[in-house]
Amino acid sequence: MPSGPMRNLVTGGAGFLGSHLVDRLMQAGEEVLCLDNTFTGRKANVRQWWDHPRFEFIRHDVTEPIKLEVDRIWHLACPASPIHYQTNPVKTAKTSFLGTYNMLGLARRVKARLLLASTSEVYGDPDVHPQLESYRGCVNPIGIRACYDEGKRIAETLCFDYQRMHGSEIRIARIFNTYGPRMLADDGRVVSNFIVQALRGEPITLYGDGSQSRSFCYVDDLVEGLIRLMNGTSTGPINLGNPHEFTIRQLAEQVRARINPELPLIEKPLPADDPRQRQPDIVLAQRALGWQPQVSLEQGLEPTIAWFQELLG
């Protein structure tokens, strides 16, 4: 363990989640290499650190190998919203497989600990509710979401095979729906969709009748969970998410009430393989990390709406 600041590589560090993690690491006095190909990341998300001596931005695609000297690797690089990961599904699958393979190779060479940002999508359209880490999922391997779902599943496989074969230090976080400032307006995620539509005075679109459920974790809570996982002794996989479940219609109604109560809700056909339920069981995170979310949906929507108000002008 180095005596000075830790040298951290954050792949996908200019993205929504990655940039908030970069903030926390920089505020803690650590060194940060922010690696991003800017496909969905934005340099503006880390602009405040641009000239800081402990920060470096590297434009690079994780599907290509890279040689660096680091102590810890936070591997977040991968488009995470359906619109973006379905734009080029082969590239998404390559990012999950080759990107994780390259980062594990780097971690092995420099003896760094690696944290993989996996996803609740590994559970697919679950027939177990809420989802525990022991549940193996119900994923369609040939569906339109498989490039991401199966990509993250093989990324987890690679991590554990590196651990078994090479003794690599790994940490696996299965991240559930996360929201907050710096989300993209066009990412197709339900929170950003509803807020952007409401701010533009458009009808709020529900896919299906809105009875499908999700659990929404504010980004600050999620980053705290990632840090505790990286610094702790548990390998995982560990679910990180807010266990409070809401229907999509309830979310739409909350957003509408805060922005424009007169807006109508309209229904459109449900996309293929869209999960009916998604709720994390976080007992393991509570026990192993002493972690649970602190920010309610009502509290987290306020700064998120404020972010989009500024973004949209």
- What letter represents residue 263's amino acid? L
Q: How many CB atoms lie within 10 A of CB 113?
A: 17
Beta strands of the chain (E only): which ranges?
A: 7-11, 31-36, 55-59, 72-75, 113-119, 170-175, 178-179, 204-207, 213-215, 217-218, 238-240, 245-247, 265-268
Q: What are the tokens at 280?
A: 């994390």
SS3 breakdown of the chain: % helix, strand, coil, rounded to 5? 40, 20, 40
- Distances in Å between the alpha carbon of 5 and those of 14, 25, 27, 28, 107? 21, 10, 12, 9, 18
Catalytic site includes residue 101: no
147 phi and psi angles, rounded to 5 deg? -55, -35
CA distance 123 to 278: 9
- Cβ atoms 96, 152 nearer than 8 A: yes
Q: What order of strands is seen across the sheet that includes strand 113-119?
A: 55-59, 31-36, 7-11, 72-75, 113-119, 170-175, 238-240
Please pick, among 85, 101, 123, 148, the residue that the annotation labels catalytic. Answer: 148
Tell how far CA 87 is from the center of its chain: 18
* Alpha carbon of residue 139 to chain centroid: 19
Active site (catalytic) residues: 148
